Amino acid sequence: MNLLGKYFLVLRPARRLFHTCSFVKNANTYSTFHHQKPTIYALSTAPGKAAVAIIRVSGPQSAFILSSLTNGKKLPSPRASALRKLYTPGTSSQKLLDHALVILFQGPKSFTGEDLLELHLHGGVATVKSVLSAIKSLNDNEKGRFIRYAENGEFTKRAFQNGRLDLTEAEGIRDMIDAETESQRMVAINSMEGYNKKFFTGLRKEIVHNSAMLSALIDFGDDYEVDEVDTLMNNVAKKIESIQGELLEYLKKAEKTQILLDGVKTALLGPTNAGKSSLLNQIANKDAAIVSNIAGTTRDIINFPLDINGYKVIVSDTAGIRSAGQTNDIIEIEGIKRAKKKALESDLILIILPADLDIKLIEPAFIEYVKQLQSSSFNKQIKLIINKTDLIDNKEKLREKYAERFNLSEDSIKFISCLTREGIDDLVSDLTKSFKLITESGDADPIGLSERSRDIIANDILFGFEEFFRAKDQGDVVMASEALNLSIEGIGKITGEAVGVEEILGVIFSTFCIGK
């Protein structure tokens, strides 16, 4: 260990950790702290006419607000629902606002960790507006009653600040609200239930243990023999290498899972009048795309988000591909260029060909293009779909010819008729299997990681590992220890226990809807 390294260890800036609120464990401190915070309120259900609307209130004035709205009637027991009449507060001639189901949660045993009130109202627009106005009127700064409308995600933000959940769980809640398909819901529920939290907490524990080994070496280096130092460093390096591999595998799985959230990109490719738009309409069960017998109807890329058996799929209808000699329409030529580009960006490519097309008339350039998409350079998953099979008899013979001509397996060739819907259900079932393979959403739990977390993994945690190995090769124990601290802090940024965490809270919770 060099002298400069020792001084660097001593003089390095102290790290200010974001502590989750310890007042949760101390009722007196909890009460004192919370009475300094404003009480927030918001409509937590979607605005507009509905059967039921829920207004949520969180903070030290929650009980006061309920008492004021119910004309001083005795508060219900914590966590027990009660039917109450709500009135305009503080007026000589009080007006009845609504009959509501009310629930009062006493902090810290609530979603936010604070006193929390829920008002379940009749969902009329005027009713909701009148109750929100009544709550707003109770704000009185001179009396220390700070009551204001909540900001985006502020309820969940307070839950995080009060130690009720970590950032990965908070992001899971946001994804749960945004989920449109069953597969997206599964991803979100795993994050919300603490799947990521458990993984990163375990990872941090292992890295901290190995960092402590290096710290002991730094503090008591004179007590170690040279061979002992080398052995300890090598043992730590082996463990960090194992952790690094585990994290990379986790990240790889998360990237596959991200396809579930963004949608499996599927491109429809083929010559003009093959039935691409007709197939899209059959899968979507509606007239999503314009269909005509005029060649080149589709000129530009048209994207359609669909829910196919629980998978979000972005189906792209593209311009029919034909050679430049077959058209001099510059718009159509540009559309063909974009169709080929879209195929390269897609996770799955569906080649549509009409069954009544003589296989000998298929342009060699198109066949070579399909083979190129299958090459190791692009490695695209391709299915060949023969449409208009109501016009032919011998499907199996045609399957063999197309498999040989396009260098495809016979299993990847499907026959359909958009006119009679023959083979459509079988195709959808087969596509679902492909979505499962592409997203690797088998029996294992899907992993949802936000872009923020993936960036931190790359720029902090994995970078720290790289710096550790570099310092280890140079025999610098101090810098090796510092490098592991970078990785530890990176995990803290993901879960919310790190320096500078306040800076990222606004970014995360601003994406929530108001009332959550």
| Domain presence at residue 429 | no
Cα 115 to Cα 34: distance, rounded to the nearest angstrom = 9
Mind giving me the DSSP string for 41-60? EEE-SPSSS-SEEEEEEEST
| Domain presence at residue 178 | yes
Cα 268 to Cα 318: distance, rounded to the nearest angstrom = 6
| Domain presence at residue 6 | yes
Element (DSSP H or E) covering residue 202:
helix 195-219
| Domain presence at residue 194 | yes
pLDDT score recorded for residue 52: 96
pLDDT score recorded for residue 30: 41
Strand partners, 119: 55, 102
Report the phi/psi class of residue 465: left, alpha or beta, with left for phi > 0 and alpha for psi in -120 to 50: alpha
| Domain presence at residue 437 | no
From 120, 135, 162, give the residue that closes a domain: 162
Cα 117 to Cα 202: distance, rounded to the nearest angstrom = 35
Sheet containing 413-415: order of strands? 302-308, 311-317, 264-269, 348-354, 381-387, 413-415
Cα 282 to Cα 74: distance, rounded to the nearest angstrom = 60
Q: State whether 357 and 276 are in the same domain.
A: yes
CB atoms within 10 A of CB 127: 16
pLDDT score recorded for residue 94: 81
Query: Both tokens of residue 57?
Result: 């209130």
Q: State whether 1 and 92 are in the same domain.
A: no
Task: Classify 102 as helix, strand or coil.
Answer: strand
Q: State whether 156 and 189 are in the same domain.
A: no
Query: Both tokens of residue 353?
Result: 């060909």
Query: Both tokens of residue 140?
Result: 């009185």
pLDDT score recorded for residue 456: 94
| Domain presence at residue 431 | no
pLDDT in tens, 182-214: 888 988 998 998 999 999 999 999 998 888 888
Look at residues 384, 367, 379, 358 and name the one whose alpha carbon lies nearest to residue 276: 384
Low-confidence ranges of the chain (pLDDT < 70): 1-35, 91-92, 220-226, 286-300, 322-328, 441-444, 498-512
Contact 355/391 with Cβ under 8 angstroms? yes
User: What is residue 475's DSSP assignment?
Assistant: T
Look at residues 10, 1, 16, 114 and name the one whose alpha carbon lies nearest to residue 500: 16
pLDDT score recorded for residue 361: 81
Q: What is the largest CA-CA distance in the chain?
A: 90
CB atoms within 10 A of CB 438: 18
Cα 454 to Cα 434: distance, rounded to the nearest angstrom = 25
**Total domains present in the chain:** 3
Q: State whether 297 and 229 are in the same domain.
A: no
Q: State whether 480 and 408 are in the same domain.
A: no
Report the phi/psi class of residue 148: left, alpha or beta, with left for phi > 0 and alpha for psi in -120 to 50: beta
Strand partners, 152: 514
| Domain presence at residue 424 | no
| Beta strand residue intervals within 141-197, DSSP E | 147-149
From 401, 418, 435, give the residue that closes a domain: 418
Contact 515/42 with Cβ under 8 angstroms? yes
Task: Classify 14 as helix, strand or coil.
Answer: coil
pLDDT score recorded for residue 437: 87
How many degrees, rounded to 5, is the angle at CA 276 between CA 310 and CA 367? 110
Name the burial class of residue 360, with classes exposed (0-12), middle (13-18) and buried (19+) by CB atoms within 10 angstroms of its CB. Answer: exposed
Query: Both tokens of residue 174?
Result: 């946001």
Q: State whether 358 and 457 are in the same domain.
A: no
Side chain identity at residue 292, one-letter code = S
Cα 239 to Cα 336: distance, rounded to the nearest angstrom = 52
Predicted structure pTM score: 0.71
Cα 391 to Cα 16: distance, rounded to the nearest angstrom = 73
pLDDT score recorded for residue 378: 79
Q: State whether 81 and 155 are in the same domain.
A: yes
CATH number of residue 320's parent domain: 3.40.50.300
Strand partners, 415: 386
Helical ranges in 12-124 per DSSP H: 27-34, 62-69
pLDDT score recorded for residue 323: 64
Q: State whether 367 and 233 are in the same domain.
A: no
Query: Both tokens of residue 219?
Result: 């503090």
User: What is residue 111's DSSP assignment?
Assistant: S
CB atoms within 10 A of CB 443: 4
CATH number of residue 133's parent domain: 3.30.1360.120
Mind giving me the DSSP string for 360-416? GGS-HHHHHHHHHHHSTTT--EEEEEEE-GGG-S-HHHHHHHHHHHHT--GGGEEE-
Q: State whether 255 and 332 are in the same domain.
A: no
Q: State whether 253 and 279 are in the same domain.
A: no
* Phi, psi for residue 21 in degrees, rounded to 5: -65, 115
Strand partners, 103: 118
Q: The domain containing residue 131 runs over which residues?
A: 22-162
Cα 74 to Cα 492: distance, rounded to the nearest angstrom = 44
Q: State whether 130 and 29 are in the same domain.
A: yes
pLDDT score recorded for residue 512: 67
CATH number of residue 487's parent domain: 1.20.120.430
From 143, 162, 181, give the residue that closes a domain: 162
| Domain presence at residue 423 | no
Q: State whether 325 and 373 are in the same domain.
A: yes
